[in-house]
Every structure is written in C-alpha cells, then in structure tokens.
Structure 1
Amino acid sequence: MGSLQMDERPHILYIDAFDSFANNITGLLEQRLGAQVTLVHTDNSVIDKNFLQVLRAVDAVVVGPGPGHPANPSDVGFIDKLWALDEADLLPVLGICLGFQSLCLGHGADVQRLPHPRHGIVTRVSHRNNDMFASLAKLEATQYHSLHADIGGVKEDRTVSWEPTSKCPLLQPLAWDEGDAVNGPILMGVQHTTKPFCGVQFHPESICTSAAGGQLITNWWTEARQWLHQHGRIKVDMPLTKWLPAPNHGVPLEFSASTAPRGFKLAQALRSAAGPEDVVLGWESYPAKAHLTTASILNSLGYRGEEVVVLDSQGHGQGRFDIMGLVVPGQTMKVTYSVSDRVLRYGSGATPASSISLESIDEVWPMLQEVLDLHFPRNDSASLPQDIPFWGGFMGYISYEAGLETIDVAPHTSYNIPDINFAFVHRSIVIDRHTSHVYVQSLLPDDQDWILATGNTIAAIEEAPPPPMSSLPTIATASRPSASSYRSKIQQCQAYLHSGDSYELCLTDSSAIALPSPSDPWAWYTHLRLRNPAPHGAYVHLSDVHVLSSSPERFLRWTREGICEFRPIKGTVKKVGPDGKKILRPEAEAILGTAKERAENLMIVDLIRHDLAGAVGARNVWVSQLMEVEEFATVWHLVSVIQGKLSGVNPLSRINGVNGNGVNGVNGGANHTNGANGVKHVNGVNGTNGAKGTNGTNGVNGSNGANGVHSANGTNGANGVHANGANDIEDAGDSAGTGASGIDVLRRSLPPGSMTGAPKKRSCEILNRIEGGPRGVYSGVLGYMDVGGGGDFSVIIRTAVRHSSQVQEDVGEVWRVGAGGAITVQSDEEGEFLEMELKAASVLDALFNGVKGM
C-alpha cells in the first residue's frame, strides 16, 4: 500500500447508472488524466457488499449520469453510500448530472422537475474562475437533464447566491446557468465545504461542450490530488478482481464451452460449399454503361422472384456501389436466428435445416466471424479488386428485436419473421458508379464459366425504359396510426422525458397494407427505386421474407483498413412545403438549425460516440461531420458522421502474410486476362482459355491457418465498457478497443441509436411499453459482412416488409410500413405526427396506388 505519487497514474472508479454517455466520460478521464478507469454499474451487488474495500483500492470516484431520480434506490444503487463515508474512508468524488444531483440531495437540497427540461441544449455557464472552474475560458456546456438541484440559492429577483445557503450550508455553489428565461437560474456546479466532493450538472464530455469542459476535468483532478497528498490517504495496492472474477472480455467474440463444437460445425458446414482447397476469389470486370442498374442486370439474368439480396444506391449521388448477392438454390447457406426461442438455424434447402440452441444472441457473432475467417480469399493481394468493398460473405438483416436482446431488453416476438436473416453469398455482382465498372465475382471453385457467361450477359444489356407503373396494385386497404392514438403515445413519451427517465425517445408506429391478391415484390421495388431513390436502397428476399427499402441512412460501415463510420440522421424537412412552394437549402438550414432539431441530432451523436468507444476506445473515435444539412430526393436531412479506428489486425495483412512466400498461398497460375476487356482476375482461377493455375493450394489446412489471425486474433475483443449483467466490473483503460472487429462494433451498437433515443437501454424499455408490439425488421439494420474484413449496414427505414405467412392466394397479402420520429421535450404533437406521416408516405405513395383508409 502507499500514497499516490505526483507522477503516478491515477486509478479512478467510475460508477455508471446505465447511461449512454459513460464511455465518453471514461475516455475523457483517460485522455485528460492518463487515468486507469474501472467501471461498475449501480446495481452491482458484489461492489455494494465490498464497497469500502473497493474504495480503498482506488484514488478517486466519478459518479456518472443516468436516467431516473437520485431519491430512487433502483436508479442510484449504492451511490448514496459515498456521501455518508466516515472521515477515515474519504476520497475525492466528482458527480456528473445524476451524480451531481445525488450529491446535492445527500446534503439537504431538493431535487425537482424543471418546468422545461434541458435535453441536448448548449448554454453558457457562469462561474467565478475558482476551484475546479479556475482559469477556464468561455464555458459552453451541453445539458441533459429533466431535474435540477435546489439548494436555496436563487433569490426572488432571480439573482443567484455564490455562497453556501442556510438550506445547504455544506455546499458551495460554483456555477450557474443564468440564461434560461423559463426555468430561471439553474445550479450547474457545487463543491462540499469540508469534504473532497464536487459535481457538475452539465456534461463535460459532450461533443458540443467547449474545450473548457476537458480543462475542468484536469482542474478537478489537480485539486483532488492535492487533497490526497495533504491528507496522506493510503491506497491499498490490490486489484479489484480480489472481490470479483476477472471479466471475460472475449465473450462477444468467443464461443461458450457448450456451443463451441456446434459453432465450429456451423462454420465448417458453410465453408464446405467453397470446396476443400483454399478459398480463392474469381472475378472479372467490365465497363458499366450509364443505363446499367441492379434491375436491368437481374432482369437480364432471368430473375423471376428467387431469393436474392440487392444493396442498391438507386442512382443517388451519395451512393457508389450497387451489390447483388445471388442465392444459388441447394448450395447457398442461409442462417437465421429468432429471439423468441434463441435458436440459430442454417441450411441450403438441399437437406433439412440444422439448428443450435443458444444461451443468448451474444453467441451468434463469433459464429458469423468464424465463417468469414474460413472464407478469407487466399489470392495474392495484387490480384484482388481492392476498391470493391464486397467480395462475398453474409448479406441480410438484423431486426430491431435482435438489437434489444444485445442490450438485455426483453423484446416482443416478431410474428414468425427471423430476427437475424443472412445468406452466405458466394456469387455476387458489384457496380462501381465512380469508375463505371461492373464486377462479377465468385468464391466457388472452378466457377469461371459462370463468371464469363454472366459478364457477357451484362455486357449485352441495352438501355430500356422503366417498367410501366400499371404493375403497381390499384386496390389496397391500409390500417394506419390515427392522429389521436399517435398523439397519445407522444404524450406518454413526454411524461417520461419530464420525469428524467429519458432525454429522447424515438417513437415509431406502423401501417398494415392489405392487398386483395399476391403481388410481385420485385416489380414494386423497381418502382420504389425510381420514385424515391436513396443511397441505401435494398431489396431482400430471404427465408420467406421480402424487404423493399429506400433508406437514406447509413448505420455503420467498417472498411478492410479498419475505419468505422456512422451517419445518423435526425432532422427532416420536406422539399416541397404545404403551399406547394419548393424549400431550398437556405430555408432548410434555418429550420434544421433550430435548437430542437440540433438537440435531437446531438443526443444521438453523443450516444453513438459512446457505443463506438465501447469497442475501439474513446481515443480512437472522432466526429468528422457535425449536424450538416444534406439533400435527398424528397427531403432535406440533418446528418452527422462519427468515425473510429479498429485497433485489431488489418485483415489485408493476411494476404501477404500467408501467401507472400509462396508456401501456403494460392500463388500458382498465371494472371489470365479477358481478351477485349484486358482486365486481370485472380491467380490460380480458370482464365478464358480454360487453363488453371498450376501450383494449386495446400487444401483445408492452408485455409484453417487463417484462424490464428482472424479479426479477434485470439484476443479478448474490445476491453471497453460492457453489458454483462448485474455483477460486472471492468477496466475501461488504455487497452480499450484492442482486437475489436467490425462485427464487435456492430453488435455493441445495436439497436441503432437513431431509432431508440438516450439513454438507450432505459429508452428502449419505455418504448416497448408505449408501442406495445414488435417493430420487426423495421428499425433494424440491413447490409453485408465481407470475407475481406469490411461491412456496411443501413438503418431499415422508409421500408415495406412482408412475410410469406401473410400471403394467401385466395385472400391476398399484408405489407407493413413503419415510420416515426424522435420525441423530445421540445416536440410539438402535431408536428411529430405530420413528420411520421411524411416518412410513411415516402414509401406508401411510391408503392401503393388507390389505397383506402390512407
């Protein structure tokens, strides 16, 4: 044991009240203080039982934000014990938001509701440049709170006291928000007059808090360290794992003991379709004529409604790649998972499907990762189409309910629709709109004949007029949310927002469209892509599910080089006003620049920063675009871009590492060319002359050699903040992000924050109660995971969904279209209902003519 040295790295205990900004705060502590941060949750019974021993092993405590009220034991857990510590057990404590309110409540303050809550609002904070506010420049701070602490410091004339009050004589006011005409002055900072306790109501970690927020953290620690030295506090040199077993950081990316054998069986079953030798990507590229589309390609290949996955930029200026994943009957393996029974099923249709009962959805992700690793192409790096983001792999969707299971929120069941629905695609076609080339690709052995035949068919496609609109249904009946029902749900949301249980709730509802006879979903999709083009359009027919999407929103993309990107949309303005007048960019920017619209977007940006930091570490996360207006076909959107860097092994390094010496790789065979096109394809794959690469491969063992360097690389996955249950404890320190893969970022970020609100877990629980049923595919994510190491998923919005169980020849069929919006305390009921209607209409108007009840 010993006292903290002046240059020693501090060990800080962070108490998380299940907030969605915790990783941003722990990251700020790490970066500003060089601290080791150990995170525990407020409901951790082991920490509660051993509270004093835990405190003796750390230098200071930070109590973070969270939903609820500080007087509610279920919201704050053991936090109150801090304020009652004996003199001998004292240590520095910083409270933020809920932690601040708990500090004030514990010393005589009242914690009351604000007349007008402050969610995502950025304001000037007044202070006197003393204590932890010393030498701060202009402090603009983000507030996320419905409650405020009343220490009796606001006078009748609305001036404030900077001295302890008779009501709370042990609390020294340090900062106020004096610019709120509705609420009046709001206490923003305090410190205890005799103990090392202090706190702030605002969020110093928010992306919109000025740089002074970080300096405040430094100032706090400077004063805390001085107190530690002055009081000679002795820290016990003992890891916190003395009381708790070491966390299994690798759970998200490793099989459990019970499912490992079946997980590897799944991986090998999917791997078998590519043959016993090392997987090699065969490909050819051809000039892509301007009129070439996903629809024209599939139609030319004789598509008649078979299973397929199409990711389609729909001609939108922001889109670059169109990807078609072809399902080969009897050969392509499909993988599904349902939250209702937690069973993963897989098969090609040639034989009865196999199934694996899982303990939780966490076991799905390592299975998917293992399959991808076993299919990593063993080509020489120079012979791969490096600019093409998809060479083959999983394509499909993950439902909203699957996302709920990842954060331990009990989901509603999704009326027979699989919650994870993927096909493992060996044959694919990719259009690169920037280079005007189309790529025909296959991971199957000896598949060059198909590649060449498909390429020749595509090359022969002539420009054709769009399909006639008469193919759309002309009689349909819609069951849509009523204005009164939706407004009632908005009011319920507002009640939770005012009580402090959430900062923002992304409320949704759905329309059911009944048709008198079965339809042609592919024909519908071709119309949707023309009438409502969006950069993340999609057509999916897999496992009895049809999805027709014109989504404008990217959820998550990660590249083979390890860059992750989120592009949340919050804020929507129709390009044509109610009077028929066009709304141009300046007017759209004015509307979307209001405090309400920016607050919606800001809350999601901070939430996504937290999600991403949990996988890659806060120091590897940055915001490259903050709340900028972007133009789409029918609307203007407010869009932000959050990016991060994976710190695991670059998958591309495996190409040279395995193949470079010519021992285990696929270096045999000359580079074959396609005559007139003059485009090289992979080594060792049949060329136009039918010749085969001569040196061959080393078979299955060569393929399995990749396991030692797959994305998880045998590491513990991301060592950041976690969600492993009530008795969690975790270091969120420098190693955060080590070994994280794109799939790890994916699962840590579900469900999409732009479809939940913040804090995510509590908000989802509230929305479950208010909405009363499953969202299903809507609000989930749709895209691909590439064998080369990348991935790209959109948010499933502006989408129609149908399951085969809702199709009957003599009765007709039912389609579902979801829509909604973010509800904040600034929301207007009429405005929110109209926004939901606008979003639903973008699909309904494009697909359904003459719908009754609309």
Structure 2
Amino acid sequence: MSILLIDSYDSFSSSFRRLLEKATECSVITIKNDTYHIPEDSKVLDQLLQNVMAVAIGPGPGSPLKSEDIGVIPYVLTKKDLPILGVCLGFQCLCLENGCKMKYLDHPVHGQTAGIQITSRKEPLFDGIPRKFRAVRYHSIHIIQNSDSTPSTQSPEIIPLAYCYDEDKEVLMAARHICYPHFGVQYHPESICSEFGLELVRNFWNIAQKFRKRDELRREDLYKFGIGSVTLEKRNIQTDYDSQLTNHQLQYIYLNKSIHEPTVICEAVSPNFLLLNSCANPGEWSFIGLPEEGVSEVLTHSIYEPNVVKISKWRQTGQKSLKLETQTTVWSFMSKYMGRHKTNFDVQDEFVAGCPFKGGLIGFISYEESLSLITDIHKNTLETNKSEPDIKLCFIERFIAINRKSGRTVIASIRPKDSKWLETNAKLIEKYIDARKDRTEKKDFKEISKGMKMRKPDKAEYIRNFASCQRFLHSGDSYELCLTTTTKLEIPAETKLWDIYLEMIQHNPSPYSVFFDFGDSQLLSTSPERFLSWNRDKCQMRPIKGTVSKRDTKSYRCACEKLLIPKEMGENLMIVDLIRHDLSSLLENVKVKQLMKVEEYQTVYQLVSVIEGKLKDSNCHGIDVLKSTLPPGSMTGAPKKRSVEILEKLELYKRRGIYSGVCGYWSVDDIADWSVVIRSLFGYNREESGDKTLYCGAGGAITVLSNAESEWQEMNDKLDSVVRIFERGLGMS
C-alpha cells in the first residue's frame, strides 16, 4: 500500500513525509503540485490516484486562490471517493473547494504554538487526542465557513472539527467534508513543537483503510506515471565517493611545548597557511593547513561557468580548466576527487586518533553557489564581477592541529615518507615560538586603520526593504525572510589583512574563526555558527536565530528574558523545522538534541538549537547532506526556495558572495565541519591598482512580529561586532 504526498515547494515537506511513513508504515510517493498539468495530464494522474490508498496534500507558500501556487490540488480534490488529508495550504484548498471563504489574518502567525480545541470527542480524526492540545501554526490566511456575518450562510459541505482563539476570535484549525473522506488541519502536525501529530496521521490512515476496503487497488509500476525523478524520496546523490585509491600515510610529531597560540604558528609558516581557528567555546580544535607552493592543488568553481572546474597549484597563477562531463556537476566532481583520497587511518595514539582533521580540503563555498542548487539565480551583479570564485578549496597534505582544552599540538603529514620534513619544520616552529614567547606581536591598530573608508548600509533603503518583507510575510509567500545588507570598506593598499584579522579575533573570538588568503579571494571570519559537521556515523547542525548584544545585556538571565520570547523563539523554531526537513530528505531518525538554548559568546548571547541525523545505514554520505541542506536556512528563511527568490529581488540581485555561504574542511577520513560565513570580512583581488576592497555582510530574520527599528539595530549590532575595530582613525563616506 502507498500514500501519495503532494508537495507545494514547502520547507517542511520532508518532515511531513517522514511523519506519514512512521504513522502508516507504508511507502510514501511524493510529487510536486506542478508535476502534472490539467487537463493534458489528467489521465496519467487519474491512474496514479487509483493506485494509492490515500493522498496527503502538504503545506506551501502562497495563496489557495493562485493557480501557480496550488497546481493540481483542486483537480485532486474532485476525487470524492479518495481519502485526503490536507495540511495548511492543502486544508485551505479543501475548504475553498467546498464553498468556504478565506480571509487574511489581522495578525499572521508563523512559527508560534497555539492552543487547539477540538469541537467533539466523537470525531475519528482526533481519536485518543486530548480535547485541548498545542500545535504550531504557519499561516497568514484563515478559512471562514460563511460568506457573510450570518451563521445561516455556513458552507453545508464542511464540518468544523477544531478551533484556536486569536484575541477571543475563533480561527478554524481542522475540518472534514460532511460525507466524503476529506479531512484537513490548518496547523502543522509535523513541526517539532506540535503535539499528537503522529496520532492524527495514524487516525487518518485508519479511516482511509476502512474507506478503501471496498476498492480493489491495482498494483502497477508507479514509474510509468513519470514520478520517479521528482520524488522527495531518500537518495544517494554522490555515488562516486567510495573509490578509496589512496596511499596516504599519517605521520606526526608533537611540539615540545603546550598551549600554543595558533596565530603565532601561522606567523612562523607565513604566507603559506590556511587557518581554521577555534578560539572560543564550543570550539575545541584549531587547524593550520600548510599548502606547498607550486605543489598543493587548489579547486576553483564559478556559477558563471557551471560545467568547468579549474585546477591550479598553490600560489601559482596558471590553471587548468576541466570541462565536466554531461550529467556531472561540481558536487559530483568534488565527491569523486575526495573518493580518490579517501583513507581510514589506523592510529594508535589516542590524541591523534581523536583529531577530526587528518588532511583534505579546506576552503569556502559561496552563497551563490549554494543558491544555484535550489533556484535559477539571476547572474547580473552590481559591485562584483565574474572573476570571483564561488568555490575555493585547497587539498592539504601537511597541517598542524592544536587542541584548546589540552593545549597539545602536533604537526602532521599524510604525504608518504615525509618524516624529514616534519622534523625540520617542527624545530623551526618551536624556535620561532621560543623567540616570540608564544605571543603574537600586535601593531597599533589606530595607525593601521588610518585612511580606511567605510560605506555602511542606508537606513531608509533598509526600512523600505523591511516593509516589502512584511508584505510578503502577510501574503503568505514566506514565513521568515533573512534580509541582509553589505558594508563596503576601502583599505589602503599597504594594509596587511593579517593585522586586521588579529584585531578581529581580539575583539570577537569565536569558535569558527578562519583566515584564508587564496590570492584571488580572502576570508577573515569570526563566525559563531556551525552549519554542518559530520563523521562516518552522524551529522549535526547548530542554527543560530536570536541575538542580543552584551553591551545592552548585563547577565545571562537578562539575555534569557530577551531571547525566550515568541518573536525570537518563532524565528528559531522555523529554522529548526526547515533543517529537519532538509535532513529528513536523506536521513532517518533526525533528532533535535537541543531546542532554543541561550548560549553565551564573547560579544553576544544567542539562541541556538542542535539537530542531528544518523548517516550510518542511510546509504548516503556527508557530502550528500551538505549539498541537500545548502544554502543555510538561517541565511534565507522559510520556505527556502520562495524566500530566496524574494530576497534576490529585494537585495537588487547583488551577490552576497562568500557571506552567507559556508567555510571549513572535509577530511580524507570523511569527517567534516562547515560554518556559516557571518561576522566576517571578505574580498577579492582586482586588476585595478589602489586601495583594497573588503565587504562585510550583516542581516537578520524578518518575521511578522519584527519591528523595523529593532531589526535595524540588530543588524547594526552584528555589523559592529566586525567593523567597530575600524572606528578610530576612520574616514566615513
């Protein structure tokens, strides 16, 4: 037996599908609402509907009155003998099909829990569910049963089953058809904070089985209906990863002294290094990749040449362009590339065995590269050009690992027979450390910052975009929009980026700090947010939504009072539900390990959740999950696809660039850690002479509960956590 799920491009559909699978213990076939077109595809859709036990119509952005938002849903609802369960948009379509009307809520509700009250204990859909329970709402539209204010004009076809109350006004939360097996709920039973979602779907399935017993279902090959390529079913998207053709050998030497400062070691090996610097909790390891000039491979990709990957050597200008084969993407190329290097080391030393990076790729993936995975992005740009890389990754064979907790440091190599290099460089580094007394000598930043110019975001433009966001949120096109801005800094040509980075981490140490200088692109990050980490067993995501500055918040208790409120918790909940969807598209047993906990950082308090999924026995790899979860939901909003399309327009099709992308590492033993590029400076080398240009992105999640002035202030707090180091000696423009 199978159940059909109709997905309306929502960011919660995979979680809904998992709920259907768990409740019914049957296969769930998923199609988009525009997979078929009526009337030309009505025959093949009819065949599909005849071969499933029931249909679930999922949530989605937009309006039930817009044909482009609902596709085949009205046609499916004409099948009176077919058991149907509609959720949110599906519920609204069901009610409108049967004579109800719709209105827009005075105060839309997105990501908020509400008390649901069942009208009758005798309804099979709510069998075993308490008369009152709590569930999560995501909607701007609500259903009314009467076309005017008099109860006598109620739709005779729809029976109300449950309500909630907004300012003492009834809002319909569940209903059924008076005689056909069509049911619907306005709330989201799949949300992490909804109660009794499993029981609701199980009850519907019991109803469907009883109703369909009189029908003899035909068992036919479903793929003839043309749905195989458009399902949301679990899939392994990078099949070239398991080749394991490497001859890497892990060798290492402990440095004699402990508690080494990573920045001092970087200066000892400069300029050939890439730094991943966990200089604050919860970060534990810092890694310094040691690329060799003219030897270490660098992979570069641009969305402007999607079928080309460029291979170069570290610090050399020449590069080789590889044209990708048909049906091959840069993602499958990276997967195959790392497959050739895949190694499982048998390490006896407990400390080295526990080191999560043992050589591999280090670098970044831009927002636009991520964006191209889910939508056809507009490639016209204003302040950037086509020479700017969207993927930049260097393959590292030699590296240094520093553990913050123990203070122990090793220099290591996976290049065969590299012991002589290790011994020579360990001595050189220790000699340098002794001379510096393990301290970085900082320069006077007031002198460094002289002559810099900064162009901050325009408040009037931000307020206009905020108002536009509110219109899209109130119309139901999005539940949350992460509106961003870009600050441009002009730096005198003689200024060293390393000096700027040292100042950044002094004022804002963070668990996912990086310093990358690839020559054609640079990233100086003090990001506090992990995007995705994985090992061979599981993956983890740590979204941050909700931020207050320590300048205005004197204690942890005060931070909790400011962050544990409906607005901030709603922002976080939406991204948690979005991530559960992203992970559930590939993984079983997705769990929320931490829900909306206030965490303390150097300059801010933030609301952080932790979501995990098991990779073991899932028939996919971490790279599959990375591709399926980009771009970071905390930098887009939800539903993701519709939200990024809205944001592109509001942000005038400007490239975000490295900001809002991810950076980190992918180790040869298939352990990886990627952070969201926020609280960062980034830049690109240009041919023109003169000052260097750096950019700093900043933004925040806009919801219907947001206030323009508060969001403007929050955006500036995030911006200032990076750029306030330039305040002295700075010329403003």
What is the percent sequence identity of the aligned residues?
36
What is the aligned partner in structure 1 of residue 248 from structure 2? 279
- C-alpha spacing 1:285/1:358, structure 2 compared with 1 (3 Å): same
Q: Is 1:193 matched up with 2:186?
A: no
8 A contact 1:13–1:62 mirrored in 2: yes
8 A contact 1:525–1:539 mirrored in 2: yes
CA distance in 2: counterparts of 1:574 and 1:383, whole angstroms: 42
What is the aligned partner in structure 2 of residue 841 from structure 1? 720
- C-alpha spacing 1:426/1:56, structure 2 compared with 1 (3 Å): same
CA distance in 2: counterparts of 1:469 and 1:637, whole angstroms: 31
Cα shift at 1:379: 4.3
CA distance in 1: counterparts of 2:154 and 2:257, whole angstroms: 75
Structure 2 counterpart SS, 1:149: strand
Structure 2 counterpart SS, 1:572: strand
- C-alpha spacing 1:379/1:122, structure 2 compared with 1 (3 Å): closer
Q: Is 1:576 matched up with 2:551?
A: yes
- C-alpha spacing 1:361/1:117, structure 2 compared with 1 (3 Å): farther
- C-alpha spacing 1:464/1:647, structure 2 compared with 1 (3 Å): closer
CA distance in 2: counterparts of 1:823 and 1:307, whole angstroms: 41
What is the aligned partner in structure 2 of residue 517 from structure 1? 493
CA distance in 1: counterparts of 2:494 and 2:225, whole angstroms: 61
8 A contact 2:631–2:661 mirrored in 1: yes
What is the aligned partner in structure 2 of residue 428 from structure 1? 399
8 A contact 1:398–1:777 mirrored in 2: yes
8 A contact 2:36–2:45 mirrored in 1: no
TM-score normalized by structure 2?
0.93
Q: Is 1:132 matched up with 2:132?
A: no
What is the aligned partner in structure 2 of residue 667 from structure 1? none
Cα shift at 1:347: 1.9
Cα shift at 1:348: 1.3
- C-alpha spacing 1:639/1:288, structure 2 compared with 1 (3 Å): farther
Match of 1:506 among 482, 499, 518: 482
Cα shift at 1:94: 0.2
Letter in structure 2 aligned against 1:389:
P
CA distance in 2: counterparts of 1:516 and 1:389, whole angstroms: 38
CA distance in 2: counterparts of 1:601 and 1:154, whole angstroms: 38
Cα shift at 1:832: 0.5
Cα shift at 1:381: 4.5
Q: Is 1:629 matched up with 2:570?
A: no
Cα shift at 1:242: 1.9
8 A contact 2:276–2:512 mirrored in 1: yes
Question: Per-residue CA shift, 1:30-75, capped at 9, x if unaligned?
Answer: 1122121011001113765511100011100000000111111111
Pick which of 549-558 and 449-458 moved more: 449-458
Question: Per-residue CA shift, 1:298-352, capped at 9, x if unaligned?
Answer: 1123x1xx353211112x1311000111221110100011011212111216684
What is the aligned partner in structure 2 of residue 55 from structure 1? 49
Letter in structure 1 aligned against 2:238:
L
Question: Superposition pairs for residues 559-708 of structure 1, below 5 Å?
Answer: 559=535, 561-577=536-552, 582-617=553-588, 620-648=589-617
- C-alpha spacing 1:239/1:285, structure 2 compared with 1 (3 Å): farther
What is the aligned partner in structure 2 of residue 386 from structure 1? 353
Q: Is 1:345 matched up with 2:310?
A: yes
Question: Superposition pairs for residues 734-813 of structure 1, below 5 Å?
Answer: 738-772=618-652, 773-805=654-686, 808=689, 811-813=690-692
RMSD, aligned CA? 2.3
Cα shift at 1:171: 0.3
Cα shift at 1:848: 5.5
> Could you say which structure has the greater relative contact order, defined with CA pairs below 8 angstroms and 6 or more residues apart?
1
What is the aligned partner in structure 2 of residue 142 from structure 1? 136
- C-alpha spacing 1:768/1:362, structure 2 compared with 1 (3 Å): farther
- C-alpha spacing 1:627/1:104, structure 2 compared with 1 (3 Å): same
CA distance in 2: counterparts of 1:430 and 1:612, whole angstroms: 30
What is the aligned partner in structure 1 of residue 297 from structure 2? 333
CA distance in 2: counterparts of 1:228 and 1:761, whole angstroms: 36
Cα shift at 1:254: 4.1
- C-alpha spacing 1:775/1:92, structure 2 compared with 1 (3 Å): same
CA distance in 1: counterparts of 2:257 and 2:170, whole angstroms: 63
Cα shift at 1:466: 4.2
Pick which of 424-433 and 382-391 moved more: 382-391
What is the aligned partner in structure 1 of residue 92 from structure 2? 101
CA distance in 2: counterparts of 1:556 and 1:238, whole angstroms: 40
- C-alpha spacing 1:125/1:636, structure 2 compared with 1 (3 Å): same
What is the aligned partner in structure 2 of residue 206 from structure 1? 191
8 A contact 1:124–1:141 mirrored in 2: yes
CA distance in 2: counterparts of 1:309 and 1:425, whole angstroms: 9
- C-alpha spacing 1:361/1:394, structure 2 compared with 1 (3 Å): farther
Match of 2:107 among 109, 112, 116: 116
Over 6 Å off, 4+ runs: 153-156, 248-251, 359-362
What is the aligned partner in structure 2 of residue 64 from structure 1? 58
Q: Is 1:310 matched up with 2:275?
A: yes
8 A contact 1:22–1:64 mirrored in 2: yes
Cα shift at 1:760: 0.2
CA distance in 2: counterparts of 1:569 and 1:434, whole angstroms: 24
What is the aligned partner in structure 1 of residue 285 from structure 2? 321
Gaps of 5+ in 2: none
Question: Per-residue CA shift, 1:102-161, capped at 9, x if unaligned?
Answer: 0011111112211111100101101033231122134200001111111129978xxxx8
Question: Per-residue CA shift, 1:13-38, capped at 9, x if unaligned?
Answer: 00000000011001011112212101
Cα shift at 1:190: 0.4
- C-alpha spacing 1:852/1:76, structure 2 compared with 1 (3 Å): same
CA distance in 2: counterparts of 1:508 and 1:807, whole angstroms: 28
Match of 1:181 among 167, 179, 192: 167
What is the aligned partner in structure 2 of residue 33 from structure 1? 24
CA distance in 2: counterparts of 1:14 and 1:784, whole angstroms: 37
8 A contact 1:400–1:777 mirrored in 2: yes
8 A contact 2:140–2:475 mirrored in 1: yes
8 A contact 2:236–2:619 mirrored in 1: no
Cα shift at 1:409: 3.5
CA distance in 2: counterparts of 1:199 and 1:850, whole angstroms: 62
Cα shift at 1:503: 0.2
- C-alpha spacing 1:151/1:519, structure 2 compared with 1 (3 Å): same
Structure 2 counterpart SS, 1:45: coil
8 A contact 1:572–1:638 mirrored in 2: yes
What is the aligned partner in structure 1 of residue 68 from structure 2? 74
- C-alpha spacing 1:115/1:358, structure 2 compared with 1 (3 Å): farther
Letter in structure 2 aligned against 1:541:
D
What is the aligned partner in structure 2 of residue 18 from structure 1? 9
- C-alpha spacing 1:72/1:324, structure 2 compared with 1 (3 Å): same
- C-alpha spacing 1:67/1:389, structure 2 compared with 1 (3 Å): same
CA distance in 1: counterparts of 2:322 and 2:218, whole angstroms: 47
Structure 2 counterpart SS, 1:208: coil
Match of 1:297 among 258, 265, 272: 265
8 A contact 2:538–2:616 mirrored in 1: no
Q: Is 1:253 matched up with 2:238?
A: yes
CA distance in 2: counterparts of 1:838 and 1:527, whole angstroms: 18
What is the aligned partner in structure 2 of residue 442 from structure 1? 413
Structure 1 counterpart SS, 2:616: coil
Match of 1:357 among 323, 347, 358: 323
Alignment length (residue pairs): 711
Question: Per-residue CA shift, 1:411-437, capped at 9, x if unaligned?
Answer: 435523211110011111110122321
What is the aligned partner in structure 2 of residue 664 from structure 1? none
8 A contact 2:236–2:624 mirrored in 1: no
Cα shift at 1:355: 1.6
8 A contact 1:411–1:774 mirrored in 2: no
Match of 2:210 among 216, 222, 226: 226
